[in-house]
Structure 1
Amino acid sequence: MISAIQSHGSKNNFIIIDEKDIQFKPSDEARAAWTKKLCVDTQTDGLLFISESVKAQAKMRVFNSDGSEASMCGNGLRCAARYIAERDQVESFEVETMKAVLHVEQVDELYGDIPTYSVEISPVLFDLESLPLKLGQKKQLILEPVPEWEKDCLYTAIAVPNPHVITNVPVEMINSDSQEKLATSFNSENEWFTDGVNVSYVVELGEGEFFVRTFERGVGFTNACGTAMSSSSLVQVLAGKWRPGVPINIFNDGGRVKCVVHGENDQYDHIDLIGNATFTHHLELTLSENGEAAILKSNETNEDKIYEKMAEASKEYLRNVQPELKLRQN
């Protein structure tokens, strides 16, 4: 039996498992099987596996609910950062992820007493091979139309290193089935994305304020996607709708975060994603080498009640500034 934590960043839900508590060395097949089983049992989006690192304070691996491994997860990294910070009694440190070592730190609360962390999102890659995306002879896709996808939209493709396609849309389009159809096609057999892609629709709310909804590969629609919100913030800078170095408010179906895009002269090296890291349950699990997993005990914390106050305040704000926007209930 081992202890674990059920958590969320912007209502993107994860179970955190510290591999030092596992009595055997798990295989990736076991990790994938545990993830699929436990995500169904707890209605979470993925598992975060914390292990030792020779490059950083700790290492984080992310497995999606379908058992696939993601190269990064911004919302998950905030949750992992809090776990590592409290375990090791540190406030500012680095975490190793699949493709980068990223800086994380505890920062002032966004709202009330909600534990809040800033995490680095990088690298920022625009070459289409990084996604990968096959689009004729194009090397990049930045604020350009792709008529075969959806007319009247300008698309940007970014890997951070998770692959993203982002477009700003009117509210009636984000309320339609356009995004689901497009994202489903990109994550099925198709001529453009061999490994699938995250698809985000963005609605401008006001100066420095945007709403982002993401269909995540391997998951589907979630309340929020950290790397998507970060990438979407960068797109607003590229489009001249916001400025680098200045916090931008990003609303989502699960609440809100802040992002800061770092760079100048069209050279952007990283983005800060700032938001909650909420622990909702303390779990007791059994995990077996053959992939079996079970929850023996689940004790709820009171932290989510505080977060819900912020989430409701965000929803009320959205109802006032964009009453036509239909929020999803995941």
Structure 2
Amino acid sequence: MHFFKYSSIGNDFILINNIEEKIPENKFSDLAKRLCRRRFNIGADGILILEKSQKADFKMRIFNSDGSEAEMCGNGIRAIAKHVYDSRLTKSTEIRVETLADIKILKLFLKDNLVESIEVDMGTPKLLRNEIPMTGVNKKVIGEEFRVDDEIYKITCVSMGNPHCIIYDDDVNSIDIKIGKKIETHQLFPNKTNVEFVQVLNNNELLVKVWERGAGETLACGTGACATVVSSVLNNYVKKDQLITVHLPGGDLKIKWADDDHVYMTGPSEKAFEGDVDLKG
């Protein structure tokens, strides 16, 4: 099987063009668990499955390294966009990609006829508990107290097509990121959750560390950066309709929660290499 390895500010993926490879759907989960094992196989945070779509230009499916399928991946969809244009699968600099969350619209910015950066219309955030989803009374969760072991955190929760739990701290580097696992799997979140630990640097910069659902600690999370900006507006740390720089361990993303209520994310993606893997071995 031929594959492509992409990195979106450190969030790395194995991209499979299933328009050509035609791998059966029931193999995707096991394939992710096998191929994503670092030091034993190709290694990645997840696999991206590129397919034909009946209602958009392309379809993306994302499977985490533990084999679970995610509804949406902001860093992954930028890798898909770069791949389809640079591989000449499309000539358009505006494409529509079907995901499990919904159809996303992407604008591609070029340099020397290759994609340099991508703006993704991530849609409108969902804020009610049953939309995230979370258990409990169906209302917004903004600065709500939440106990894990002997610690009490104040959480704000947002869905960007997938669930996010945001926690603020004066020094995110002092946090034991592994607490993210207990939050991810807490019974409050029936579909589990991504976790973002956030330090507010100023009114237009945020520092974020990520625990991704199904993948653990990662260098970046696109939907997480978007959810963080939404949360920061709700908590009055930053203003709506303002371009915010989100600093992640792997690099920066530019995020705006615009007055039209859509969240816009802009950032790069790079192809690291491509190759072939023996699936029979």
**Considering the TM-score relative to the shorter chain, is it more than 0.5?**
yes
Task: Judge conservation of contact 2:158–2:231 (CA < 8 Å) in 1.
Answer: no
- Distance 1:148-1:27 versus aligned 2 partners, 3 A rule: closer
Mapped to 1, the partners of 2:84 and 2:115 lie a distance apart of 17
Higher helix fraction: Structure 1 or Structure 2?
A: 1
**Percent identity over the alignment?**
26
- Residue matched to 1:234: 230
Does 2:28 align with 1:31?
A: yes
TM-score, structure 2 length as denominator?
A: 0.90
Question: Unaligned stretches of 5+ in structure 2?
Answer: none
Q: Offset at 1:132?
A: 2.0
Q: Offset at 1:25?
A: 4.9
Task: Judge conservation of contact 1:174–1:201 (CA < 8 Å) in 2.
Answer: no
Give the SS at the match of 1:154: strand
Q: Offset at 1:199?
A: 0.8
Mapped to 2, the partners of 1:77 and 1:123 lie a distance apart of 17
Give the SS at the match of 2:56: coil
Post-superposition CA distance 1:64-87 (Å, at most 9, x none) = 001110000000010001112232
Does 2:200 align with 1:204?
A: yes
- Residue matched to 2:122: 121
Mapped to 1, the partners of 2:188 and 2:212 lie a distance apart of 16
Q: Offset at 1:239?
A: 2.1
Give the SS at the match of 1:228: helix
Q: Offset at 1:191?
A: 3.0
Aligned-partner residue type, residue 274 of structure 1: T
Structure number, greater radius of gyration: 1
Aligned-partner residue type, residue 4 of structure 2: I
- Residue matched to 1:324: none
Post-superposition CA distance 1:83-140 (Å, at most 9, x none) = 122321221111000120000111378xxx98211112234111111222113x3522
For 1:275, which of 263, 267, 278 is the aligned residue?
267
Aligned-partner residue type, residue 92 of structure 1: E
Mapped to 1, the partners of 2:23 and 2:34 lie a distance apart of 19
Aligned-partner residue type, residue 116 of structure 1: S
Q: Offset at 1:27?
A: 2.5
For 2:210, which of 189, 211, 214 is the aligned residue?
214
Give the SS at the match of 2:259: strand
- Distance 1:50-1:5 versus aligned 2 partners, 3 A rule: same
- Distance 1:146-1:51 versus aligned 2 partners, 3 A rule: same
- Residue matched to 1:156: 156
Query: Equivalent residues in 2 for 1:44-63 (5 A)?
Result: 44-63=44-63
Give the SS at the match of 1:95: strand
Aligned-partner residue type, residue 279 of structure 1: K
Aligned-partner residue type, residue 266 of structure 2: I
Give the SS at the match of 1:14: strand
Mapped to 2, the partners of 1:79 and 1:176 lie a distance apart of 30
Question: Unaligned stretches of 5+ in structure 1?
Answer: 295-330
Post-superposition CA distance 1:290-312 (Å, at most 9, x none) = xx5x6xxxxxxxxxxxxxxxxxx
TM-score, structure 1 length as denominator?
A: 0.77
Task: Judge conservation of contact 2:108–2:115 (CA < 8 Å) in 1.
Answer: no
Q: Offset at 1:169?
A: 0.9
Mapped to 2, the partners of 1:35 and 1:147 lie a distance apart of 33
Query: Equivalent residues in 2 for 1:74-223 (5 A)?
Result: 74-86=74-86, 87-107=89-109, 115-135=116-136, 137-147=137-147, 150-151=151-152, 153-171=153-171, 174-177=173-176, 179-181=177-179, 183-188=180-185, 190-223=186-219
Task: Judge conservation of contact 1:7–1:15 (CA < 8 Å) in 2.
Answer: yes
- Distance 1:257-1:222 versus aligned 2 partners, 3 A rule: same
Q: Offset at 1:43?
A: 2.3
Mapped to 2, the partners of 1:210 and 1:286 lie a distance apart of 42
Mapped to 1, the partners of 2:278 and 2:258 lie a distance apart of 43
Aligned-partner residue type, residue 204 of structure 1: V
- Residue matched to 1:307: none
Q: Compute the RMSD of aligned alpha carbons.
A: 2.1
Mapped to 1, the partners of 2:198 and 2:161 lie a distance apart of 20
- Distance 1:66-1:174 versus aligned 2 partners, 3 A rule: same
Higher strand fraction: Structure 1 or Structure 2?
A: 2
Mapped to 2, the partners of 1:244 and 1:140 lie a distance apart of 18
